Structures are given as structure tokens and as C-alpha cells.
């Protein structure tokens, strides 16, 4: 597809600094769509070529070393057909272009920001690779997805729209939990959403009481670094995981390190406890807490990695156990989370998850609220849907146990989030009739001596 005269369609990929996302988009356009697209990239400013972007593009077989960072002003005379803004700042400050250029915004996460605080180069590159692949998926839809129509929703293919929705959810969750980390650091309080809870308690005393109520032992709680318990739990996955000395255990959405520090004691000096979280602010808090953990226990067996639970920074078949506490429900792509769990577990490895699930659909007024999303409710799916996703990932020995008493407890203590939920339910209804805390266990099949799987 080209224009009416057979000319290549001129597309500019615009970002803030023209160093990473826009450069990768230009590189993919040259490599995949060179016959139909005349691709450019530019920035509101110039930050130079990002070496990590160059590296991961080279890994994918695309050499972008011939490209260079340039300001958008140098391209204002080019008769562009389309301008694609690939970051929010560029979209907000996009200049006017002469002629008939159409502007379309398709935002992508910022790899340098995601990789901030990465413990290693390999951990950082995981974020660049994920964004690189998302940009490729979009470029593959060009130029058809840029055909003018009345609305952007009509312009973009459904697969691209779904990708954008997932990114928007991640951005909201990341911002919400960054605020929790900052609030906890500054005041010692827990919670979010203007003072209401996020799957947990509103202050340090309530966080301790809640953790004790859902099964954490007093000695486990008193041994934690100060501030690690942020009141974000809805269950006790470490109690279900049957951790033993020497295990490698991973916590998905590890926050300030609450469950990881408990797991670290269980797996001992010969084991390893790895936390994965997508929020740099939480990661910084957890790593600070790890210093206190090591001083108190003498163990140097915990680490925290920046990453999304849909794209785990872990090797295949490398983990004995995976735990997660009130996090998977927040993911916009839960089937992918379970596939990642199955990928990284060793044969015979097990998963123990505490999560929020639905017993029946919630009113739309609740499902649409950002506060409820960050509060681990709007992102929840039914128990049946949860089981289906787990089994389709290839995991077996699946067991789901509803624990609605947790929801009743949060309602009884006048938790603001659950009080708001009650306000949207039919008169006389209880939140626990719609929502439950769910204890999930499953296992990856181990090979049998006969060559099959046990």
C-alpha cells in the first residue's frame, strides 16, 4: 500500500529525546516496511542514540547505528503524511506540521525509566527488549492502521488498541504503587488512593494486625525490617509454598520485600529469594530494607529485580517456587503471567498465590474506578476464569480455596475502598458476596522415569 501515485508514505516517529523508542520505530520501519514507508524519527529535544536501544535492535537483526538523534525542527519542511507520537510528552507538545499530516498517538513505555535501578545490565536489557518487540508489533500494522477515519479507535487495529489499554493499566498501577512507596517512606503509613487501602491496611498498626489475622506468625512479623509490611496483603502465600532450605523462590510484585524477607529465612543460606517488581520506587525501598535484613539475619540470599510479571527477568526452568500476594489481579494480561510462571518454574516446581477473585460480576461503576483497580478489585476475574488460565498455561494440581472472611474483615474495619464498593452494591448486599480472597496452589509437571510427565 502506498499513496494514490505509488509514492511511499512519509511517517515521522516523534518522541521527547529521539534516543530510544522513536529510533527503534524508525529502524523497524526501514527493516519491515521500507517498500511502502519513508520513515523518519525526531525528538522535541535531542538526547543522542541510546546504546541499549542500539544493542537490542542489533540482537533482533536490525542495525540502527546509521541513524542519528535530531530535533523535529529539522523535518518541518518534509511533506509528511503521518506523525506518530510514541511518548506522552511528545503527544502533548507535538508541533503543528504544514500540509495534511495526520497525528496519531501510540505511546510505549520508556525503557530507561523502567530500567532505572536495575541490578545488572541483563536486567535492564529485558525492558528494552520488551518495548522493542511491542514497537515491532505496531510497525507491522503499518500503513493500514494509519488510514484516516473519524476516531483513533477506528484507525487502529484491535490488537493495537488492546496493547494500548494494557499499557494504560500498567501506567496507572505503577503510578499508584509508586505513591504508596513514597507515602510509606515519608510517613510510615500504608495505603493509597487518598488514604484508602490497596488490598490491605491504612496504617502500620493495622498492617501488623491484618498480617497476623491472615496467618503470619508473630515472630515472622517482628523479624521484618521496619516498613517492609506495607499492609498490601490479602493472604499468606509463604505458608502454602512449603519452602525448604536450598529453594530458589520468586515473589511476583514484591513491593517493599514483605514476603521475600520471610521466604529468605525459610530457604536459608543455600537458597535464594528473588523479588520482582515493576515500580522503581518499590524496588528502591526493598533494596534498602534488604540491608537491614542482612544485618539482622546474617543472610545474603535476597535480591530484587525490576521487571513486569508478564515478562519475568528469569531464565527458563530456574525456579523451585513462585509466590505472589494480591498482585496478579492487577495485571492486564493475566494469561501471560501464568505462562511466564510455567516457563520459569523447574519441572516439579510449585506456585502459591494469594489473590483477589470475583464470585459474581461487580457493577460497572466499581469496575471503572481507578481506585478500585489499584485496590486489587476492578482487575479481578472469577474463580473459574482463574482456574482456566492456570490450566491453559500447562500447570497442574490446581487447587483454589475461597477465603471470603478477609473481605468481611476489611469491610468491618471500615476500609474506605470496601465502603465505597458497598455504596455501589444493592441494598443489604455484602462485599464478600461478590469478592473473595483466593488461595491458589499449582505445580509444574515433573518428568517421569518412563519419559512422560508425572
HEC per residue, 66-123: CCCCCEHHHHCCCCCCEEEECCHHHHHHCCCCCCCCEEEECCCCCHHHHCCCCCCHHH
Q: Which of 20, 87, 199, 234 is catalytic?
A: 87
The pLDDT of residue 418: 67
Instruction: Kindly report, residue by residue over 318-339, the tens digit of the pLDDT.
Output: 999 999 988 898 888 899 999 9
Domain boundary among 156, 180, 206: 156
Indicate if 198 belongs to the active site: no
The pLDDT of residue 267: 95
Closest CA to 20 of 49, 63, 57: 49
Q: Are residues 371 and 227 in the same domain?
A: yes
When the pLDDT of each residue in the chain is averaged and rounded to a whole number, the result is 78
Q: Are residues 429 and 293 in the same domain?
A: yes
Q: Are residues 235 and 361 in the same domain?
A: yes
Q: How far is CA 69 from CA 14, 85, 91, 174, 180, in A?
A: 11, 15, 18, 29, 36
- CATH number for the domain spanning 125: value is 3.40.50.2300
- CATH number for the domain spanning 387: value is 3.40.50.150
Q: Are residues 244 and 353 in the same domain?
A: yes
Q: Are residues 138 and 200 in the same domain?
A: no
Helix axes 158-187, 121-139, angle to 10 degrees: 150
Give a yes or no: residue 146 inside a domain: yes
Indicate if 20 belongs to the active site: no
Q: Are residues 219 and 324 in the same domain?
A: yes
Q: Range with the lowest mean pLDDT among 215-229, 244-258, 426-440?
A: 215-229
Give a yes or no: residue 168 inside a domain: no
Band of the pLDDT at 411, cuts 50, 70, 90? Answer: low
Indicate if 450 belongs to the active site: no
Give a yes or no: residue 16 inside a domain: yes
pLDDT(166) > 90:
no
Q: Which residue has the higher pLDDT, 245 or 118?
A: 245
Give a yes or no: residue 178 inside a domain: no
Q: How far apart are CA 23 and CA 35, in angstroms?
A: 19
Q: Are residues 240 and 372 in the same domain?
A: yes
Q: Are residues 86 and 17 in the same domain?
A: yes
Instruction: Kindly report, residue by residue over 355-379, the tens digit of the pLDDT.
Output: 888 888 777 766 655 455 445 566 7
Q: Are residues 13 and 138 in the same domain?
A: yes
Q: Are residues 121 and 200 in the same domain?
A: no
pLDDT(258) > 70:
yes
Domain containing residue 128: 9-156
Structurally, the chain folds into a number of domains equal to 2
Q: Are residues 147 and 196 in the same domain?
A: no
The pLDDT of residue 149: 45
Task: Return the C-alpha cell found at 445.
Answer: 509437571
Q: Are residues 235 and 277 in the same domain?
A: yes
Amino acid at each position: 500500500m502506498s499513496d494514490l501515485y505509488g509514492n511511499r508514505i512519509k511517517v515521522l516517529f516523534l518522541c521527547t529525546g529521539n534516543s530510544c523508542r522513536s529510533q527503534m520505530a524508525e529502524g523497524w520501519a526501514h527493516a519491515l516496511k521500507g517498500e511502502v514507508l519513508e520513515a523518519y524519527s525526531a525528538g522535541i529535544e535531542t538526547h543522542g542514540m541510546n546504546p541499549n536501544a542500539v544493542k537490542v535492535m542489533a540482537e533482533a537483526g536490525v542495525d540502527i547505528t546509521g541513524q542519528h538523534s535530531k530535533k523535529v525542527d529539522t523535518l518541518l519542511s518534509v511533506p509528511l503524511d503521518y506523525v506518530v507520537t510514541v511518548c506522552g510528552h511528545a503527544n502533548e507538545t507535538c508541533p503543528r506540521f504544514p500540509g495534511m499530516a495526520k497525528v496519531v498517538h501510540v505511546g510505549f513505555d520508556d525503557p530507561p525509566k523502567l530500567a532505572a535501578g536495575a541490578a545488572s545490565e541483563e536486567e535492564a536489557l529485558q525492558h528494552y527488549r520488551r518495548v522493542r518487540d511491542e514497537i515491532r508489533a505496531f510497525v507491522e500494522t503499518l500503513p493500514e492502521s494509519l488510514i484516516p477515519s473519524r476516531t483513533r479507535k477506528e484507525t487502529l487495529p484491535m490488537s493495537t488498541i488492546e496493547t494500548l489499554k494494557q499499557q494504560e493499566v500498567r501506567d496507572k498501577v505503577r503510578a499508584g504503587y509508586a505513591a504508596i512507596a513514597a507515602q510509606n517512606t515519608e510517613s510510615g503509613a500504608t495505603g493509597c488512593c487518598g488514604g484508602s487501602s490497596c488490598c490491605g491496611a491504612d496504617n502500620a498498626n493495622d498492617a501488623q494486625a491484618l498480617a497476623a489475622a491472615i496467618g503470619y506468625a508473630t515472630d515472622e512479623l517482628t523479624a521484618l525490617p521496619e516498613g517492609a509490611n506495607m499492609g498490601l496483603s490479602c493472604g499468606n502465600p509463604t505458608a502454602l509454598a512449603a519452602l525448604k532450605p536450598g529453594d530458589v523462590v520468586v515473589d511476583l510484585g514484591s513491593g517493599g520485600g514483605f514476603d521475600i524477607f520471610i521466604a529468605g529465612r525459610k530457604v536459608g543460606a543455600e537458597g535464594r529469594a528473588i523479588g520482582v517488581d515493576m515500580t522503581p520506587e518499590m524496588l528502591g525501598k526493598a533494596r534498602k530494607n534488604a540491608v537491614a535484613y542482612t544485618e539482622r539475619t546474617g543472610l545474603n540470599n535476597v535480591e530484587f529485580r525490576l521487571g513486569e510479571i508478564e515478562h519475568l527477568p528469569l531464565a527458563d526452568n530456574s525456579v523451585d517456587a513462585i509466590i505472589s500476594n494480591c498482585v496478579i489481579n492487577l495485571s492486564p494480561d493475566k494469561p501471560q503471567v501464568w505462562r511466564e510462571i510455567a516457563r520459569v518454574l523447574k519441572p516439579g516446581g510449585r506456585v502459591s498465590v494469594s489473590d483477589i477473585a470475583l464470585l459474581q460480576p461487580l457493577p460497572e461503576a466499581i469496575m471503572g474506578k481507578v481506585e478500585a483497580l489499584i485496590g486489587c478489585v476492578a482487575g479481578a476475574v472469577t474463580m473459574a476464569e482463574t482456574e482456566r488460565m492456570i490450566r491453559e498455561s500447562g500447570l497442574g494440581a490446581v487447587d483454589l480455596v475461597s477465603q471470603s472472611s478477609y473481605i468481611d474483615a476489611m469491610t468491618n474495619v471500615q476500609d474506605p475502598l470496601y465502603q465505597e464498593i458497598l455504596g455501589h452494591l444493592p441494598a443489604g448486599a455484602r462485599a464478600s458476596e461478590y469478592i473473595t480472597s483466593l488461595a491458589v496452589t499449582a505445580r509444574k509437571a515433573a518428568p517421569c522415569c518412563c519419559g512422560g510427565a508425572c
